[in-house]
């Protein structure tokens, strides 16, 4: 069974203090690893898709990286508007198309 | 280009009533997925549909829950005889083709009294 574990559960940072969020996964053949951002009371907002180990993608202050067992979401010089829950999900290349999600990291950026 | 639309955004039902949740995918998307998010838990897959077909319902409870995506109109997730444990946020996602990025709607928050 596919599994995703995210750490830490919650993270508080000062504005401008860079850090990384971790997503460890086990999957029967990785088709893609996805990062989403979710604000309170809203649906997940797509950020990145990573397909193979060594791949990196960037968007503004966010950079996602992928190895064979985990992914990192690096946040550089965060701002208060980056506060949200960040969700990691995997999609297997075997069988159906469902996403298996972790429980997320709740990020708070303090001004 | 409008995103995935869901309605209602909030729904209150008493135990034993029926709940109908609607999802209109993004324009040009013919694949729809339903997920449920219980308090303090991650999103859990329920069902995957294409127009007029259920492709995978492995995450859907065997009783009381059903889903459809008709040729015309939105996808519907139907919960019969709701119980308090059905209280959750229900999210719909869509993609243009299989094995593509899934884009999520704002969700429907169901509260069962």
Q: What is the pLDDT of residues B5-17, one digit of tens each?
A: 999 999 999 999 9
Query: In Å, what is the CA distance from A93 to each residue of A32, A37, A97, A98?
Result: 8, 23, 8, 10
Across B103-111, average pLDDT: 97
Inter-chain touch B58–A45, beta carbons under 8 Å = no
Q: Which residue has the tokens 């998010």?
A: B37
Inter-chain touch A97–B31, beta carbons under 8 Å = yes
Q: Which of A41, A49, A99 sits opposite B45 (nearest CB)?
A: A99
Inter-chain touch B107–A42, beta carbons under 8 Å = yes
Residue A103's SS3 state is coil
Looking at the predicted structure, is the pLDDT value of residue B109 above 90?
A: yes
Task: Quote the CA–CA distance of A11 and B40 in Å, as a whole number.
Answer: 16
Q: What is the mean pLDDT of chain B?
A: 94
Phi-psi region of B100 (alpha: psi -120 to 50; beta: other; left: phi over 0): beta
Task: Quote the CA–CA distance of A29 and A44 in Å, as a whole number.
Answer: 24
Q: Which residue has the tokens 């950020």?
A: A47
Smallest CA–CA distance, residue B110 to chain A, in Å, is 12
Partner residues linked to B95 by β-bridges: B31
Q: List pLDDT tens digits, range B60-91.
A: 999 999 999 999 999 999 999 999 999 999 99
Residue of chain B whose Cα is closest to the Cα of A97: B99
Phi, psi angle pair for B32, to nearest 5°: -125, 140
Inter-chain touch A98–B107, beta carbons under 8 Å = no
Please tell me the predicted confidence (pLDDT) of residue B2: 76
Smallest CA–CA distance, residue A104 to chain B, in Å, is 7
Looking at the predicted structure, is the pLDDT value of residue B1 above 70?
A: no
Inter-chain touch A42–B4, beta carbons under 8 Å = no
Mutate: best of B9, B32, B42, B48, partner A, most A CBs <10 A: B42
Please tell me the predicted confidence (pLDDT) of residue A38: 97
Phi-psi region of B65 (alpha: psi -120 to 50; beta: other; left: phi over 0): beta
Please tell me the predicted confidence (pLDDT) of residue B98: 76
């Amino acid at each position: 069974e596919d599994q995703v574990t995210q750490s830490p559960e919650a993270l508080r940072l000062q504005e401008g203090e860079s850090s990384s969020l971790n997503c460890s996964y086990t999957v029967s053949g990785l088709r893609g690893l996805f990062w989403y951002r979710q604000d309170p009371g809203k649906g997940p907002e797509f950020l990145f898709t990573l397909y193979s180990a060594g791949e990196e993608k960037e968007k503004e202050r966010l950079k996602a990286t992928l190895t064979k067992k985990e992914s990192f979401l690096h946040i550089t010089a965060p701002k208060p508007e980056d506060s949200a829950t960040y969700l990691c999900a995997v999609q297997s290349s075997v069988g159906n198309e469902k996403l298996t999600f972790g429980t997320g990291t709740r990020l708070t950026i303090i001004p | 280009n409008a995103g995935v639309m869901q309605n209602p955004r909030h729904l209150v039902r008493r135990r034993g009533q029926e709940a109908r949740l609607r999802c209109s995918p993004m324009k040009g998307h013919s694949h729809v997925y339903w997920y449920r998010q219980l308090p303090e838990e991650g999103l859990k897959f329920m069902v995957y549909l294409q127009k007029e077909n259920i492709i995978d319902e492995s995450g859907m409870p065997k009783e009381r829950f059903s889903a459809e995506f008709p040729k015309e109109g939105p996808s519907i997730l139907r919960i019969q005889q709701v119980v308090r444990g059905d209280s959750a946020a229900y999210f719909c996602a869509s993609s243009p083709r299989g094995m593509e990025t899934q884009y999520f709607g704002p969700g429907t928050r169901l509260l069962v009294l």
